[in-house]
């Protein structure tokens, strides 16, 4: 197994340094680099919301293994969010700032946090984890991150391996709390719709700052070879009644070292 599929244990809970990361950090290609940058912008807020919902139900978990998995999940997502904030600060320094998007997004998440039931927020998390597992699988299998020479490449590799590793935790928690099929698939559809809508808005915001070609950007995210588009199609089986995240991953990719 090569470096891409077998991260070193030293990458666990790592702190990354993003200074001196160029704008076109992946393959010298601005368009593909911004596909990752786009996800990074929203991730700390979404992971914060999901962690909030898991913390809210810890005292209702009867199963010791699931309880331990939830604690590990919170720990992993907290460190992901922390590193994404650092990554986003680097984007700010490059002149990519999306203040109206962020304040709007925060308001919406805050509404969800205060008005929705915890089970519905966990269902949002299940949908989000479903897509992050699939996209992580695609990126790692297709070796999109190339040789992880820069810290930002190692950072994404680390995050994606941990997403694959904890892919089942929220689904198991959701089922443990009595969550049903309809709520799960409605939330999955909502998550995918929002991911596309907000993702495209931010992505073209990046290109606007760069004065880069919108057509080339569109080709990158919607072209036949786009890992994003492929991942979106691969999400369709998640709407099945019998879906469980354990069915999704290439076992080669989640055999990671654990501390
Ligand atoms: Fe994460
Ligand atoms: Fe996750």
Per DSSP, the residues of 4-58 read TTS--GGGTT-----TT--TTTTTT-HHHHHHHHHHHHHHHHHHHHHHHHHHHHG
The answer to whether residue 252 scores a pLDDT higher than 80 is no
Q: Read off the tokens for 203.
A: 């992505």
Cα 109 to middle of ligand 1, angstroms: 17
> Does some domain include residue 233?
yes
Cα 211 to middle of ligand 1, angstroms: 31
> Does some domain include residue 156?
yes
Percent of the chain with pLDDT strictly greater than 70: 90
Cα 218 to middle of ligand 2, angstroms: 27
> Does some domain include residue 133?
yes
> Does some domain include residue 188?
yes
Cα 47 to middle of ligand 1, angstroms: 6
Ligand nearest to the CA of 155: 1
Q: Based on the structure, what is the number of domains in the chain?
A: 1
Residue-wise pLDDT for 189-204, tens only, equals 999 999 999 999 999 9
Helix, strand, coil percent values for the chain (each to nearest 5)? 70, 0, 30
Q: Which domain holds residue 167?
A: 25-247
Ligand nearest to the CA of 168: 2
Cα 159 to middle of ligand 1, angstroms: 6
The answer to whether residue 34 scores a pLDDT higher than 70 is yes
Cα 84 to middle of ligand 1, angstroms: 9
Separation CA 118–CA 77 (nearest Å): 18
Helix axes 30-57, 181-210, angle to 10 degrees: 140
Q: What is the mean pLDDT of the chain?
A: 89
Closest to 42 in 3D by CA, of 123, 98, 116? 98
Tell me, what's the pLDDT at 7? 45
Q: Read off the tokens for 226.
A: 């786009």
Burial of 67 (0-12, 13-18, 19+ CB in 10 A): middle
Any long-range contacts for 1-4 (C-beta under 8 Å, 24+ apart)? 1/252, 1/255, 3/147, 3/148, 4/140, 4/143, 4/145, 4/148, 4/157
Q: In terms of pLDDT, which residue wins out, 145 or 120?
A: 120
> Does some domain include residue 257?
no
Residue-wise pLDDT for 74-105, tens only, equals 999 999 999 999 999 999 999 999 999 999 99
Cα 147 to middle of ligand 2, angstroms: 23
> Does some domain include residue 253?
no
Q: In terms of pLDDT, which residue wins out, 13 or 195?
A: 195
SS3 146: coil
Residues in the chain: 259
Cβ 255 vs Cβ 150: under 8 Å: no
> Does some domain include residue 221?
yes
pLDDT band, very low/low/confident/very high, at 8 (cuts 50, 70, 90): very low
Ligand nearest to the CA of 171: 2
> Does some domain include residue 243?
yes
Q: Read off the tokens for 132.
A: 């992050």
């Amino acid at each position: 197994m090569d470096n891409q599929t077998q991260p070193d244990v030293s990458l666990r809970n790592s702190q990354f340094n993003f200074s001196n990361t160029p704008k076109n950090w992946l393959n010298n290609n601005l368009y593909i680099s911004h596909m990752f940058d786009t996800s990074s912008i929203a991730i700390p807020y979404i992971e914060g919301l999901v962690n909030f919902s898991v913390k809210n139900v810890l005292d209702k978990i009867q199963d010791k293994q699931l309880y331990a998995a939830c604690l590990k999940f919170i720990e992993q997502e907290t460190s992901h969010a922390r590193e994404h904030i650092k990554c986003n600060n680097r984007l700010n320094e490059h002149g990519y700032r999306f203040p109206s998007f962020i304040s709007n997004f925060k308001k919406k998440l805050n509404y969800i946090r205060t008005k929705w039931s915890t089970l519905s927020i966990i269902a949002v998390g299940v949908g989000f984890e479903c897509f992050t597992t699939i996209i992580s699988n695609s990126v790692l299998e297709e070796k999109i991150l190339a040789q992880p020479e820069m810290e930002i490449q190692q950072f994404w590799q680390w995050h994606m391996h941990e997403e694959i590793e904890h892919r089942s935790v929220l689904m198991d928690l959701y089922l443990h709390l009595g969550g049903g099929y309809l709520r799960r698939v409605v939330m999955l559809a909502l998550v995918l719709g929002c991911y596309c809508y907000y993702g495209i808005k931010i992505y073209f915001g990046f290109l606007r700052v760069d004065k880069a070609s919108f057509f080339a950007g569109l080709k990158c995210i919607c072209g036949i070879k786009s890992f994003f588009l492929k991942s979106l199609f691969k999400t369709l089986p998640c709407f099945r009644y019998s879906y469980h995240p354990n069915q999704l991953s290439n076992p080669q990719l989640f055999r990671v070292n654990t501390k």
